[in-house]
């Protein structure tokens, strides 16, 4: 039986349907990110990819990518993304042809996310890596990133303490939110001004807020 005539009934579970659909969307829009999502759906049933790639998460990362390009341009030798989860932002940056990026490291303390991030970013080859590490234990001088990204600031206990680990002058993109009711959000802020005070950056190229249905996301781009 060919693919075209395969019965489309109950035998096909939602995962197979989602795989077929994302693969089709990837072929239609020629997107490595969407092709990577199809691979994740097929290979990692344990991954919470529909949460990591829901429309709010995507909106926040598109916002980050646009503001980054407009504030700092598109040329980066090495980008480090801390709390990088499944590597969605890395994939979105590596796919965007306006950017010229040497390598992206998506670093996360949770060892279970690395394989999923690698599957998502497989087409980037050596330009992508997903090391497992605690962001407080990374030697940032050795890492040598010319941009450090943390879109998980609401998850980390001591933002200013972490930022003090970065070499002076390092450029950063930070996101947090006011979604206090989520139990894993231990470091939320009420306003973007509060986020500016919490981070205490040496220079600020961008500061903004993106209202979502249940919460507002905040973003700072600048240097330590
Ligand atoms: C839920 S996710 C990301 C949410 C965020 N809205 C985003 O998409 O950027 C938060 C991630 O931060 C990671 N994380 C938390 N503490 C960390 C630490 N100390 N070092 C590295 N990663 C950490 C978690 O393992 C998790 O994958």
**Which residue has tokens 């903004």?**
208
Q: What's the confidence (pLDDT) of residue 1? A: 45
What's the pLDDT band for 5 if we cut at 50, 70, 90?
Answer: low
Q: What's the confidence (pLDDT) of residue 25? A: 97
The pLDDT of 175-183, averaged and rounded, is 92
> How many whole angstroms separate alpha carbon 160 and alpha carbon 143?
19
pLDDT tens column, 62-95: 999 999 999 999 999 999 999 999 999 999 999 9
Query: What would the 3-class secondary structure string for the chain be?
Result: CCCCCCCCCCCCCHHHHHHHHHHHHHHHHCCHHHHHHHHHHHHCCCCCHHHHCCHHHHHHHHHHHHHHHHHHCCEEEEEEEECCCCCHHHHHHHHCCCCEEEEEEEEECCHHHHHHHHHHCHHHHHHEECCECCCCCCCHHHHCCCEEEECCHHHCCCHHHHHCCCCCCCEEEEEEECCCCCCCCCCCCCCHHHHHHHHCCCEEEEEEEEECCCCEEEEEEEEC
pLDDT exceeds 60 at position 3: no
> What is the best residue among 49, 50, 109, 159 to mutate for testing ligand 1's pocket, by most ligand atoms within 8 Å of CB?
109
Protein residues with CB under 6 Å of any ligand 1 atom: 57, 82-83, 85, 108-110, 113, 134-136, 151-152, 155-156
pLDDT exceeds 80 at position 4: no
Ligand 1 center to 145 CA (angstroms): 19
The pTM is what?
A: 0.93
Instruction: For the chain, give the percent of residues with pLDDT over 70.
Output: 95
Q: What's the confidence (pLDDT) of residue 13? A: 84
C-alpha dihedral, 122 to 106 to 94 to 219, nearest 10°: 150
The pLDDT of 172-198, averaged and rounded, is 94
Q: What's the confidence (pLDDT) of residue 51? A: 95
Q: What's the confidence (pLDDT) of residue 206? A: 98
pLDDT tens column, 17-47: 999 999 999 999 999 999 999 999 999 999 9
pLDDT tens column, 146-167: 999 999 999 989 999 999 999 9
> What is the best residue among 155, 159, 176 to mutate for testing ligand 1's pocket, by most ligand atoms within 8 Å of CB?
155
The pLDDT of 88-110, averaged and rounded, is 98
The pLDDT of 107-135, averaged and rounded, is 98
Ligand 1 center to 94 CA (angstroms): 20
pLDDT exceeds 90 at position 128: yes
Closest atom of ligand 1 relative to the 217 alpha carbon: 6
pLDDT exceeds 80 at position 8: no
């Amino acid at each position: 039986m060919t693919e075209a005539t395969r019965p489309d009934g109950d035998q096909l579970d939602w995962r197979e349907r989602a795989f077929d659909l994302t693969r089709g969307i990837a072929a239609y829009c020629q997107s490595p990110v969407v092709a990577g999502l199809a691979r994740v759906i097929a290979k990692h049933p344990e991954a919470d990819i529909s949460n990591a790639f829901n429309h709010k998460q995507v909106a926040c990362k598109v916002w980050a990518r646009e503001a980054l390009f407009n504030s700092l341009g598109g040329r980066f030798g090495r980008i480090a993304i801390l709390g990088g989860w499944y590597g969605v932002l890395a994939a979105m940056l590596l796919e965007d042809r306006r950017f010229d990026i040497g390598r992206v490291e998506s670093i996360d303390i949770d060892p279970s996310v690395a394989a999923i991030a690698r599957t998502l970013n497989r087409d980037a080859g050596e330009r992508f890596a997903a090391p497992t590490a605690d962001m407080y234990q990374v030697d940032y001088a050795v890492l040598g990133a010319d941009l450090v990204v943390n879109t998980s600031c609401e998850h980390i206990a001591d933002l200013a303490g972490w930022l003090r680990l970065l070499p002076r002058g390092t450029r950063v993109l930070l996101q947090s939110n006011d979604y206090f009711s989520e139990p894993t959000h231990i470091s939320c802020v009420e306003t973007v001004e509060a986020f500016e005070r919490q981070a205490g950056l040496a220079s600020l190229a961008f500061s903004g807020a993106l209202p979502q249905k249940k919460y507002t996301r905040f973003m700072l781009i600048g240097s330590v």
